[in-house]
Structure 1
């Protein structure tokens, strides 16, 4: 059975932006290779302007975000939905709900609607109380107007079952294995093997950057601590100012060279992952695939992915202890290898594409059977 599938809710492919664009790129191309007709909606501001990319049809829609800021995302999503109403898609996959679910009453009635429910966006401390309230409302609308749901984390799946009594399909995120070429991206002058700590994240409070750097700052370590991520926002400026007198902390800014980032992860002594909100985090999977030894913030999201194959921290004292005591010996090698096996057998793109293909088929058949019965 071959389906006509549309993917909405992203800025488009190829990926120039982030998580949902990244997974949409892999899933759309993977489904095309399996014989399905797939269309991805792209912002008219997207750098790629052609109508086809690796067999995926690209539908360009007007996106006024450059004029209206975040409000423009709502207009863009509405434009995509209005266009989708004119086409006879079997299945529509909506990535996230923040700026699309308010238009739920306009979703095409003849298509099976699957929404990837993202993380618990309303928990992010970077948002004001009114915005957090809106995001809770948007989540409810996504549940109301979609027929089917994807959770990329078992924690999200359990939350949706508990809160809304819905059975979402667990389909994780994916990551590519590190390649020999990527391993060689760092010269000996740039980094001695395992001679530095590493953190890579958006500068946001819920990523526990302050907790990590506070713990390191209190330690007696002589290894440098490299921080990857733009520090241009308010929190980033606060963090750089707070730790400006610790010469061991090196703020490297954003690095967009994926091979170099993965080599940095691979070569680090200990990779700190502080994310505490959301589903399966792509940067965590990449660190696992890059064979980094990981210290993660102690929360259900990270535990569901890493299990016993990581060190955990909850406060600066925990970080200080890890920095001063973690060794790179046989138990640590086992942790790294176990995480690599998870990437090979669970968090790999072929498995992810399998999951989306099977679920899309199930939803299409179920949706059309219900229409016949009605």
Structure 2
């Protein structure tokens, strides 16, 4: 695909090309909201702003009380549109309002993220908008959705890929799925890995009564398909002496799965629910973790694993296609949902050295070599410029 050739000279070309007006729709918010797509946007769009894009991100007002609403962040314009904060209607209503808003504002490119919002790609095309869709994950595989919601998400995948001027996918697994299922070429732009910012400070560890290198860390949304309950069962079976299990993820009030995790933590002092963490606090938790575990049943392209790898934290991950695509040693995987197998690996990894320094540094180097936010921004900028001047993959 021509995108790679364009990306090589993206920064040079930016100096002599007009700035593009890009509108971004589909995420809940770019600041202080946890989620893979939200992290993707936080990393990607400040770089695109430096590459000649005037970016406007349309956020969901329900996540931002009026006193916390900022109009700009890192050269990005922030807009707030209403949506109900309910599982079924939130995405659909916000995306509909966002497409109508885009039809009035007329950006050079409307970028829809995820297959739920992609359901409105045909409407955006009907309004004459130029549309890019990024497919982040097969959301219809998530446990929380019923048959009707899964059918709607499958329709969103099909319509988003078919009606986008240029479809993007974040993993080789999704690229193969799209091209096999729909016969449509999609541009692969993987998520990047951040620069590690290790912290010598331990304020967050003291706050949660943690000892350096004596806790297992899991950073993920607290939802059933991330399978934190499997990790709890495995940790309680292994019972590594002197270790704790730390979950970083927003605790949503009234959510049934969060309530189950809260109840389990209340009965076991070695389980710590740290809530949503970012910035220095998250850097401290990564820096001093003894082991990072991602037990997910569903992933698109696991940013949290990439982050842990650049901090050189020993890793364990479920053996699902998205995780297997990363350059981890084969003995660092376990069957998804198999708490007994995970418990055996926890026993091994928490006794003595979990991974040699050479192994951790080699993984760090491989991740840094293959997953770059700068490269992702350059590739995305090239897609935008192709679409803005009338190019498309199809349609």
User: TM-score when scaled to structure 2?
Assistant: 0.81
Q: Tell me, yes or no, if structure 1 residue 195 matches structure 2 residue 219.
A: no
Partner of 1:104, secondary structure, is helix
Structure 1's 156 and 69: CA in aligned 2 closer, same or farther, altered over 3 A? closer
For residue 94 of structure 1, report the CA deviation from its aligned partner: 0.9
Query: What pairs with 1:158-237 in structure 2 (closer than 5 Å)?
Result: 158-181=176-199, 184-186=202-204, 190-228=209-247, 229=249, 230=251, 233-237=255-259
Equivalent residue number for residue 324 of structure 1: 347
**Which structure would you say has the larger RCO, counting Cα contacts within 8 Å and 6 or more residues apart?**
2
Q: What does 1:23-34 align with in structure 2 at a 5 Å threshold? A: 23-34=40-51
Match of 1:333 in 2: 357
Question: Is structure 2 residue 334 aligned with structure 1 residue 313?
Answer: yes
* Corresponding residue for residue 58 of structure 1: 78
Equivalents in 1 of 2:198, 2:126: separation in Å? 46
Q: Deviations over 1:286-339 (max 9, x none)?
A: 212222111111111111124327611121222222122225549532332133
SS in 1 for 2:59: strand
Question: Within 5 Å, which residues of 2 pair with 1:355-374?
Answer: 355-365=379-389, 367=391
Moved more, 252-261 or 121-130: 252-261
Relative to structure 1, the CA distance from residue 69 to residue 126 in structure 2 (aligned partners, 3 Å threshold; closer, same or farther) is closer
Within-5 A mapping of 1:1-374: 1-2=17-18, 3-45=20-62, 46=64, 49-61=69-81, 63-66=82-85, 70-102=88-120, 104-107=122-125, 110-181=128-199, 184-186=202-204, 190-228=209-247, 229=249, 230=251, 233-241=255-263, 246-247=268-269, 249-308=270-329, 311-314=332-335, 315-326=338-349, 329=353, 332-365=356-389, 367=391
Q: Which runs of 5+ in 2 are unaligned?
A: 1-16
CA distance in 1, matches of 2:322, 2:182: 19
Q: CA shift at 1:50, angstroms?
A: 5.0
Structure-2 separation of matches of 1:370 and 1:214:
48
Q: Is the Cα–Cα contact under 8 Å of residues 10 and 42 in structure 1 kept in the other structure? A: yes
Question: Runs of 5+ in structure 1 lacking a partner?
Answer: none
- Cα displacement string for residues 24-44 of structure 1 (whole angstroms, at most 9, x for unaligned residues): 233332222122332222334
The DSSP-based 3-state class of the residue aligned with 1:218 is helix
Cα root mean square deviation, aligned: 3.0
CA drift of 1:121 comes to: 0.3
Change (3 A) 1:278 1:182: farther
User: Distance in 1 between the 2:387 and 2:393 partners?
Assistant: 10
| Contact 1:224–1:250, Cα closer than 8 Å, also in 2 | no
Size of the alignment, in residue pairs? Answer: 368
The 3 A distance-change label for structure 1 pair 298 and 77 is same
2:203 & 2:123 partners in 1: Cα distance?
Answer: 49
Q: Is the 8 A contact 1:205 1:235 kept in 2?
A: yes
